[in-house]
Amino acid sequence: MSRANLNDLQAFVVITREGSFTRAAAQLGVSQSALSHTMRALETRLGVRLLTRTTRSVSPTEAGQRLYQSMAPRFDEIELELAAVSEFRDTPAGNVRISASEHAANNILWPKLLKVLPDYPDIKIEITVDYALSDIVAQRYDAGVRLGDQVAKDMIAVPIGPSLRIAVVGSPEYFKQRPIPKEPRDLAAHNCINLRLPTHGSLMQWDFEKDGHELKARVEGQWTFNSSVPILRAAVAGCGLGFLPEDMVARELADGSLVRVLEDWCQPFAGYHLYYPNRREHSSAFGVVVDALRYKH
């Protein structure tokens, strides 16, 4: 088989995996029009339609799905073998892709890897902020970051941070207009700032625990965001109460721009873990990243 045919098949695998010509073109470093031409030529040579295109998405036909299931693992094996060959280099090298929440990316991954990466110029890190708890295998991430109790049992999980606590916070100006809540049910009388999750478009519930009793609150308010940084900004501005990780608001609590409430209802919970499939061989570059992130008590 010619190299051109192999390149066309690899392009087909990337398009099918991404479900988008736009994302596939960006990943492959070619234009969308060139990628469309490549797929039309491949379908013409094979004499069968491989992809169904709509204005919103791309999906494989029955023939395309069969080809994808056959070819995708083979390309994965080639990539793994190339990574294995790189082990013979004097220094670790390669790409490491990690999926994480915004808070974990900013407060765990960034500061820890920033200290290590200058010593390994041939290691490239890609961090994707993702609240959807994506399937890291299907999305071809090397690893993901989740809270300890959210990691699937068939994954290797490495703790990368201490236990966490949530803080319910509001500005002094906000509390000039509203009473201090004494228990979670008092939140019904407050303007709470919501976080919308990508999973089913739902709003994140506020979880509380005291004396062994758990309580899940659905709060309402004027503002909703899909990431935590705007929630912090809105809370400081007096727009309502925020439900944020304790370490994220430490500076604002210290300087008085935020006030903490319901602290006795916010108990510690399992911290972040780096997780990855136990059946996959990993490069020395990945080993460097794991060692750098590992939480040392």
Q: d(Cα 267, Cα 290) in Å, to the nearest integer? A: 28
Tell me how crowded residue 172 is: count the other CB atoms within 10 A of its CB: 11
pLDDT value of position 1: 46
CATH number reported for the structural domain that contains residue 53 in this entry: 1.10.10.10
Tell me how crowded residue 214 is: count the other CB atoms within 10 A of its CB: 9
Instruction: Tell me which residue has tokens 């392009």.
Output: 11
Identify whether residues 133 and 171 lie together within a single domain: no
Mean pLDDT of the region 286-291: 94
Residue where a domain terminates, one of 66, 86, 106: 86
| Domain range for 51 | 3-86
Higher-scoring residue by pLDDT: 181, 26: 181
DSSP 91: S
pLDDT exceeds cutoff 70 at 199: no
Identify whether residues 81 and 94 lie together within a single domain: no
pLDDT value of position 239: 97
pLDDT exceeds cutoff 90 at 279: no
Identify whether residues 172 and 201 lie together within a single domain: yes
Residue where a domain terminates, one of 86, 111, 133: 86
Query: Which tokens in the block code for residue 250?
Result: 């430490």
Identify whether residues 261 and 225 lie together within a single domain: yes
Identify whether residues 141 and 187 lie together within a single domain: no
pLDDT exceeds cutoff 70 at 105: yes
Identify whether residues 159 and 174 lie together within a single domain: no
Q: For residues 131 and 160, is the Cβ–Cβ distance under 8 A? A: no
246-260 pLDDT, tens digit each:
999 999 999 999 999
Helix ranges restricted to H, the chain: 3-18, 21-28, 32-46, 62-85, 102-104, 110-116, 172-177, 228-236, 250-255, 284-293
CATH number reported for the structural domain that contains residue 135 in this entry: 3.40.190.10
Model-level pTM? 0.68
